[in-house]
């Protein structure tokens, strides 16, 4: 597998799975279509629905899950998951709910209605608590709604030299608990979670310079949970729809984000939860909530409100193409990923390395970036440069 592929946090799970060679019994799989019948994705701007930008809430030390006290108020922090919010939500929610329930309170406020807020609120309400979510943005409006929607539990989760002792073990417990929760969603109405065939197609070997290494030492620990992934393999030329390019294939967990978030919100409301739209201009506004225990799930918003100066935004842009139900698979090529979800084909350029987007606060869409990404992906279906010139 090309080194450029291995550098991508999203593909860490895929690369590890390729090496694992085993999987748990009973893992639900979606059969990959035969190579000779693999329909190409329609990769052009004429199919573009929208472009969205998300600022991933990255902390060099990893997600913050701890208690802080302000007078008679207890704040349980649960934020800073980088690009792994959807992947780790349930495991982190269990720990946050346990911290919140460690006292005598039975009424709780959760700030934030993204995936971290929704899962934290659900875990609390399942324990018999009374829970209110306060959020300026409701689920479909949050940054979580703009996620790529793939199982990527170690995506920009921490920097190796900043992660505290024991972090890898703690992360693994979050990942395993979350994965088990995601599996319980497979096959439910709306298909909130499913498995798709994935293809990683090598780039042209035509003298291009390799991508430079990242300057930040992002922590890559996905191998600790490689047993959770179905096995990957390299395709023989006669079965490879992208031949003569080397191609690896396997099954990948995908979140249909719109359906998943809607299901979480509905479950929360059906179990007696309340959701109130409210903005928090500063910390005092948050501490003025009537509940004595507050679970802070504000994501990148925690930087300003709770004074976390370590927070760094990592910009990620997604181009959304109209759904293509006849081409349901994921394709990675040349630093670009396409995932054919039920709610659209999401296109994301990962850049030359994991530094791409680091510290970038712009949420303004850049159509040229998406157009370039589509052009790169189209090359996966065309003969390599060396073949065309030969």
Please indicate, yes or no, if residue 347 is contained in any of the structural domains.
no
- Share of residues in the chain with pLDDT > 90 (%): 83
pLDDT at 311 > cutoff 60: yes
Mean pLDDT over 7-29 rounds to 38
Q: Which residue has the higher pLDDT, 209 or 105?
A: 105
386 pLDDT band (50/70/90 cuts)? low
pLDDT in tens, 209-238: 567 888 999 999 999 999 998 999 999 999
69 domain residue, yes or no: yes
Q: Is the pLDDT of residue 16 over 90?
A: no
pLDDT above 90: residue 55:
yes
* Domain range for 119: 1-29+60-197+205-311
Report whether pLDDT(201) > 60: yes
Output phi, psi for 220, to 5 deg: -115, 105
Residue 387 falls inside a structural domain? no
Q: Indicate whether 10 belongs to any domain.
A: yes
pLDDT at 33: 53
Q: Which residues of 240-265 are buried (b: 16+ CB within 10 A; e: fewer)?
A: bbbbebbbbbbbbbbbbbbbbbebbb
Residue 26 has pLDDT above 50, yes or no: no
Count of structural domains, the chain: 1
Task: Tell me if 342 is assigned to some domain.
Answer: no
Q: Decide if pLDDT at 14 tops 70.
A: no
Instruction: Give the tens place of pLDDT for each residue, 253-298.
Output: 999 999 999 999 999 999 999 999 999 999 999 999 999 999 999 9
What are 60-101's pLDDT values in tens digits? 999 999 999 999 999 999 999 999 999 999 999 999 999 999
Instruction: Flag whether 374 is in a domain.
Output: no
Question: What pLDDT is stored for residue 10 in this prediction?
Answer: 38
pLDDT digits (tens, 9 = 90+) for 115-134: 999 999 999 999 999 999 99
Q: What is the pLDDT of residue 180?
A: 98
Residue 212 is predicted with a pLDDT of 84
Contact indicator for 297, 165 with CB cutoff of 8 Å = no
* Percent of the chain residues past pLDDT 70, beyond the cut: 87
Over 90: is that where the pLDDT of 203 sits? no
Quick: pLDDT tens for 315-330.
999 999 999 999 999 9
- Provide the pLDDT for residue 384: 81
Beta-sheet pairing, 64-70 with 73-79: antiparallel
pTM of the predicted protein model: 0.87
pLDDT for 32 equals 54
Q: Give a yes or no: residue 344 inside a domain.
A: no
Q: What is the mean pLDDT of the chain?
A: 89
**Lookup result for tokens 């409006």:** 141
Q: What is the pLDDT of residue 385?
A: 67
Residue 359 has pLDDT above 60, yes or no: yes
**Residue 224 contacts residue 168 (beta carbons within 8 Å):** yes
Nearest to 150 by CA among 195, 119, 116, 187: 195
Q: What pLDDT does 34 receive?
A: 52
Is residue 349 assigned to a domain? no
Output the CA angle 252-253-259, nearest 5 degrees: 140
């Amino acid at each position: 597998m090309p080194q450029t592929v291995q550098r991508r946090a999203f593909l860490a799970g895929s690369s590890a799975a390729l090496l694992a060679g085993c999987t748990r019994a009973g893992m639900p799989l979606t059969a990959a279509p035969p190579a000779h019948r693999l329909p190409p994705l329609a990769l052009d701007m004429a199919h573009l629905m929208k472009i969205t930008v998300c600022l991933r809430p990255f902390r060099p030390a990893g997600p913050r899950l701890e208690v802080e006290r302000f007078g008679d108020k207890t704040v349980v922090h649960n934020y800073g998951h980088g690009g792994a919010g959807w992947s780790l939500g349930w495991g982190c929610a269990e720990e946050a709910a346990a911290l919140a329930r460690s006292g005598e309170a039975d009424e709780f406020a959760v700030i934030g209605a993204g995936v971290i807020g929704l899962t934290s609120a659900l875990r609390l309400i399942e324990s018999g608590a009374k829970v209110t979510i306060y959020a300026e943005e409701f689920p479909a409006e949050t940054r979580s709604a703009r996620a790529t929607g793939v199982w990527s539990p170690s995506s920009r989760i921490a920097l190796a030299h900043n992660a505290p002792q024991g972090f890898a073990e703690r992360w693994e417990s979050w990942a395993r608990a979350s994965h088990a929760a995601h599996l319980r969603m497979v096959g439910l109405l709306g298909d909130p979670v499913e498995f798709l065939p994935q293809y990683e197609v090598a780039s042209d070997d035509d003298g291009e310079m390799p991508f430079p290494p990242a300057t930040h030492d992002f922590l890559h620990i996905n191998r600790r949970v490689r047993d959770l992934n179905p096995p990957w393999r390299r395709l023989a030329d006669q079965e490879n729809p992208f031949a003569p390019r080397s191609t690896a294939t396997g099954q990948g967990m995908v979140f249909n984000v719109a359906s998943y978030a809607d299901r979480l919100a509905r479950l929360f409301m059906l179990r007696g939860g309340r959701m109130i739209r409210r903005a928090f201009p500063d910390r005092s506004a948050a501490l003025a909530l009537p509940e004595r225990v507050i679970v802070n799930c504000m994501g990148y918003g925690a930087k300003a409100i709770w004074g976390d100066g370590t927070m760094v935004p990592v910009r990620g842009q997604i181009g959304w193409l109209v759904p293509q139900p006849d081409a349901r698979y994921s394709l990675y090529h040349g630093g670009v990923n396409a995932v054919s979800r039920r709610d659209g084909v999401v296109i994301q350029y990962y850049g030359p390395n994991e530094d791409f987007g680091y510290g970038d606060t712009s949420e303004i869409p850049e159509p040229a970036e998406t157009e370039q990404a589509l052009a790169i992906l189209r090359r996966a279906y065309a003969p390599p440069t060396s073949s065309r010139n030969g």
